[in-house]
């Protein structure tokens, strides 16, 4: 299954094309309600603009996708924006492009190119990384077993995110979902043998 990618931080990018100003906002987001709120916020902040067009993709596999031309000719804004996000295999992202019309009509092809270019340029200024799902585990282990448990946890590809030295040692760890089965089996076997508490 193809791994989706995500953007790491917000970006705002402005370009001018034939006197029109295109302001692109890219925002990482994984909740449909938050995406809609974000679109509303940008549209409110730029209510004097001619258009606030948008596109978003959310979900681990990018199954939820939607776009709007927001008054531009049909298929000239939202769809090209969405196509750029798809081309980069992105998910959990919303793009909003605000356009201030400069008096020169761009035509259908010109609009498609302008909205596509706006998203491409904004993406070139953010960091793109692979979406990785992780599972978290918390366990308590005795001091005499600590080193061997830590060694095996690392060997199985898990990462220790916190260690708290109390009466027993409290360990928090995370592991990519692809590798969690082995880690879970190891921890359950230790728990069954009375060597840790999870």
Tally of structural domains, the chain: 2
- Are both 35 and 21 inside the same structural domain? yes
- Are both 138 and 105 inside the same structural domain? no
For 62-112, what is each residue's pLDDT tens digit?
Answer: 899 999 999 999 999 999 999 999 999 999 999 999 999 988 899 999 999
For the segment 190-197, the average pLDDT, to the nearest whole number, is 87
Placement of tokens 């259908």 in the chain: 108
Question: What's the length of the chain?
Answer: 198
Per-residue DSSP letters for 120-183?
HHHHTTS-EEE---EEEEEEEE-HHHHHHHHHHHHHTT-EEEEEEESSSEEEEEEEEGGGHHHH
For 23-73, what is each residue's pLDDT tens digit?
Answer: 999 999 989 999 999 999 999 999 999 999 999 999 888 899 999 999 999
Winning range, highest mean pLDDT, from 49-58, 119-128, 143-152: 49-58
For the segment 112-127, the average pLDDT, to the nearest whole number, is 95
- Are both 66 and 160 inside the same structural domain? no
Q: Please give the residue range of the domain that contains residue 153.
A: 134-197
What is the percentage of the chain residues whose pLDDT exceeds 70? Answer: 99
Residue 196, token pair as written in the block: 């840790």
- Are both 121 and 138 inside the same structural domain? no
For 155-169, what is each residue's pLDDT tens digit?
Answer: 988 888 899 998 899
Closest CA to 98 of 24, 180, 185: 24
**CATH code, 85:** 3.30.230.30
Characterize the bridge pairing of strands 93-100 and 196-197: unpaired
Q: Which residues pair with 67 in a beta bridge?
A: 55
**CATH code, 166:** 3.30.70
The confidence band for 129, taking pLDDT boundaries of 50, 70 and 90, is confident
């Amino acid at each position: 299954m193809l791994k989706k990618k995500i953007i790491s931080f917000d970006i705002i990018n402005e370009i001018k094309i034939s006197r029109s100003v295109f302001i692109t906002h890219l925002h990482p987001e994984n909740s449909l309600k938050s995406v809609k709120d974000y679109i509303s916020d940008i549209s409110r902040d730029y209510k004097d603009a001619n258009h606030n067009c948008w596109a978003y993709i959310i979900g681990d596999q990018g199954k939820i996708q939607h776009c709007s031309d927001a008054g531009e000719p049909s298929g000239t804004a939202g769809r090209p924006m969405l196509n750029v996000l798809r081309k980069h295999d992105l998910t959990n992202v919303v793009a909003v492009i605000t356009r201030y019309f400069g008096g020169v009509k761009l035509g259908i092809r010109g609009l498609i190119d302008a909205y596509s270019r706006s998203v491409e340029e904004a993406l070139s200024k953010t960091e793109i990384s692979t979406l990785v799902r992780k599972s978290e585990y918390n366990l308590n282990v005795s001091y005499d077993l600590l080193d061997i448990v830590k060694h095996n946890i690392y060997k199985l590809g898990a990462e220790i995110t916190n260690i708290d030295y109390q009466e027993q040692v409290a360990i928090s760890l995370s592991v990519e979902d692809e590798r969690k089965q082995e880690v879970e089996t190891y921890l359950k076997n230790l728990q069954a043998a009375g060597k840790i508490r999870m």
